[in-house]
Chains A and B, each alone.
Chain A
Amino acid sequence: AAGVIQSPRHLIKEKRETATLKCYPIPRHDTVYWYQQGPGQDPQFLISFYEKMQSDKGSIPDRFSAQQFSDYHSELNMSSLELGDSALYFCASSSADRGRSYRAGEQYFGPGTRLTVT
Chain B
Amino acid sequence: ELKVEQNPLFLSMQEGKNYTIYCNYSTTSDRLYWYRQDPGKSLESLFVLLSNGAVKQEGRLMASLDTKARLSTLHITAAVHDLSATYFCAVDEGRAAGNKLTFGGGTRVLVKP
Neighbouring A residues of B99 by C-beta, 8 Å: 31, 33, 48, 94, 96, 105, 107
Q: A33-B100, A48-B100, A106-B31 are in contact. Are A42 and B88 (CB under 8 A)?
A: yes
Do the beta carbons of A90 and B100 come within 8 Å of each other? no
Encoded as 1 (CB less than 8 Å from any A CB) or 0, chain B from 35 to 55 comes to 100001111010010100000
Neighbouring A residues of B68 by C-beta, 8 Å: none
Residue of A nearest to B106 (CB): A42
Do the beta carbons of B42 and A109 come within 8 Å of each other? yes
How many residues of B are in contact with the other chain, CB < 8 A? 25
Q: A102-B50, A108-B45 are in contact. Are A56 and B97 (CB under 8 A)?
A: yes
A114 to B106, CA, bound (A): 19
A50 to B96, CA, bound (A): 13
For the complex formed, measure the closest distance between the CB of A38 and the CB atoms of chain B, giving whole angstroms. Answer: 12
Residue of B nearest to A56 (CB): B98
Neighbouring B residues of A44 by C-beta, 8 Å: 103
Do the beta carbons of A114 and B31 come within 8 Å of each other? no
A105 to B98, CA, bound (A): 9
Besides A45-B102, A56-B98, A112-B41, 16 other CB < 8 A contacts? A33-B101, A44-B103, A48-B100, A58-B100, A88-B40, A90-B42, A90-B43, A96-B99, A105-B31, A106-B31, A106-B48, A107-B92, A109-B35, A109-B42, A109-B43, A114-B40
